[in-house]
Amino acid sequence: MRFDQTSQARPRLTVRVGNGGLTPTGEARLTFYQGDPAVGGILLGDQIVAPLAVGEYRDLSLDAVELFNQNELYVVVDAANAIDECNEVNNQMAIPLATLATVGSLTVATDAPTYTSDATAHLSALILNTGALSGTFTAVLQVEDSNGQVVTRFDDVDLENLSVGTSHPIGVDWPANGILTGDYQLHGLLYDDRGEPIDEDLAPFQIVSTLLADRQASLRTTTDRAEYNANDLVRIDNLLRNLSTDALFSDITLQVQVVDPRGTDILRQGIPIGQLAPGQQTPHGLTLPLSGAEPGAYQVHAQAVDIRFGLLATDEAGFTVAQAFNRSLNGLIETEKPQVVRGEANACMDRLSTLGGTLTNLEIRQRLVNLETGEVVLDRIRNLDTLNGDAPEHQEAIDTAELPPGNYACLLQARPAPDPRRLRKADEDWQTLSYAYFQVVLPQGIVEPLAVPLLNSANLALLILMTVWIGLRHRTVTHPQGGPRR
C-alpha cells in the first residue's frame, strides 16, 4: 500500500491486489478505512476488483483521500467473504500514518546579491508542508564558500506537527566582518523526523571589499639603472602590495610592457602571480637583454590585474639607452700643415664614422689648444642630426696671425646633444676621439721646429690633460694613424 502526497489537493492511496490461489477469482470489492473497521473505522472509499486469473495482480487507487484523524489506514479486499479462499487472513493490511514519508519544501534567500565586508547580511528560509499529513521537520542553514566548505552553520530549527499547507519562516543576521571577500552561498537543507533528507536549496551571494571604490593595491616598478648602453641587460623589479584588510586576490597577473623611443613594444609579458592575501606583498623581477638598442628614452609600463577584481594597480618607470661613443663612434683629425710661419693659413680636417648602427643628435667640437700655456684658443661646435657609416670630411680654417710661436693641438670631440630637461656645464660629457698637432714659428730667420717626441696615445693624453681642461674625465684618446703629415 502506498500513500502519495505529491498533490495536497488530491492525495492518493494505492494498493496492489493479486491472486495467489490455484483458481481464477470472481469480482470483489476493495474498501479503504481510517482506523480499524472492526472497531468503527471510518470508510474512506471503495473500488471494484475485476476477476483475476491465477498469478495475476492489479494496482487500484483511491484518489482525493480525505483524512480525519491520526489513526492507521486500512484496506480490506472481499470484506463480505463473497469469494471462497483458502486463506482469508491476507485480505487486510494497515499502515500507521507515522510511517508515511513527510513531504515538504525549503526555499532560502538573501536580502542582497552583494555585501561589503563591513555589512550584515539578512538570510532567510521558508519551510512549507506540501504533503497531505502534518509533519515534523528539521531545517539546517549554513554559509559555504565557493568550494562548498562551511564557513558558518546556524542553529538547527526543529518544527513539530507542521500542519498541511502551513509554512514557517526563518531569519538570521550574519555579520560579514572579518570574512574574506569572494563568492559564497546560503545552503538550506530540510530533513524529516527520521533524519532523512527531504529538500534543499541554494542562494549565491558575494562579499566584496570595502575598498572597491578606492585603491586596494599598490605597485612599484623600477629599473636597476637609469642609463644603459645598447647591449646591456636591463633588470625590471616590481613590488605588489595588497593594501586591503579583507580582499583576497586569488588570481593575479602582472603585465609588463617596454616601449622604445619610436613607440614600438620591445617587451610585452604577462607574469602569473597567483594569490595575494590581505596585507601581504610579493616581489617579482625580470630581465630585458638589449641588443643594438636604439639610443633614447624607453618607457616601462606595469599593471596588476586580478581575474575577479579587475585592475588593481599600475606604475611606470623609464630608462635611457645612451650613445656609447667609445663603442659606436670613430673619429680622426689631421692638420693641413705640420708647421706654419705665423700668419700663414692652416686647417684641421676631421672624419667621423660609426662602428655599426645609427647615432643621432650629436654635437661635434674642434678645439684648438696652446700646448705651451694650456690655453684653449678656440672652439668650433657643429650639430650632427644623424650619422650612419662614414661622414664627409669636415674642415675648419685656422688663422695663425695672432698665435704666439709654439706647439698647438687640434682635438676632435663629441657628445650627445644637450637634453633641455637637464642642466649641463659647457665642458661636460665631451669625449675626445682624436688629436693632431702643428707648430707655429716666427717669420724672421730660420727657426728649428720644437722637438716634440712621438708619444704613445696614453702619454699624449696625459700631457693634454695636464695642460688644458678638455672636457674629459679619465677617458682615452686615439693617436692618428701615421702621425703628423710632413
Domain boundary, last residue among 298, 321, 344? 321
Q: What is the pLDDT of residue 215?
A: 52
Check residues 246 and 124 and name the one with the higher pLDDT: 124
Cα 45 to Cα 36: distance, rounded to the nearest angstrom: 14
Q: In this structure, what CATH number is given to the domain that contains residue 196?
A: 2.60.40.3880
Window from 178-187, 307-316, 425-434 with minimum mean pLDDT: 425-434
**Stretch 181-202: mean pLDDT, rounded?**
90
Q: Is residue 154 part of a domain?
A: yes
Read off the pLDDT of residues 35-76 as tens digits, 9 standing for 90 and up. 888 888 888 888 888 888 888 888 887 777 777 767 788 888
**Stretch 465-483: mean pLDDT, rounded?**
37
Place of cell 643594438: 292
Domain boundary, last residue among 321, 355, 372? 321
Domain boundary, last residue among 69, 99, 129? 99
Same domain, 162 and 180: yes
Q: Does 224 have pLDDT greater than 90? A: yes
Check residues 165 and 140 and name the one with the higher pLDDT: 140
**Stretch 74-84: mean pLDDT, rounded?**
75
Cα 486 to Cα 472: distance, rounded to the nearest angstrom: 29
**Stretch 215-243: mean pLDDT, rounded?**
89
Domain that holds residue 378: 325-467
Same domain, 203 and 236: no
State the pTM of this model. Answer: 0.40
Q: In this structure, what CATH number is given to the domain that contains residue 73?
A: 2.60.40.10
Same domain, 244 and 161: no
Same domain, 460 and 342: yes
Q: What is the pLDDT of residue 4?
A: 60
- The beta strand positions in 329-375, using DSSP E, are 329-335, 339-341, 346-354, 359-370
Check residues 246 and 105 and name the one with the higher pLDDT: 105
Same domain, 335 and 462: yes
Cβ burial 84-95 (10 Å sphere, 16+ → b, else e)? ebeeeeebbebe
Q: Is residue 429 part of a domain?
A: yes
Window from 58-62, 298-302, 352-356, 456-460 with minimum mean pLDDT: 456-460
Q: What is the pLDDT of residue 201?
A: 95
Same domain, 385 and 300: no
Same domain, 252 and 191: no
Q: Is residue 93 part of a domain?
A: yes
Q: What is the pLDDT of residue 18?
A: 82
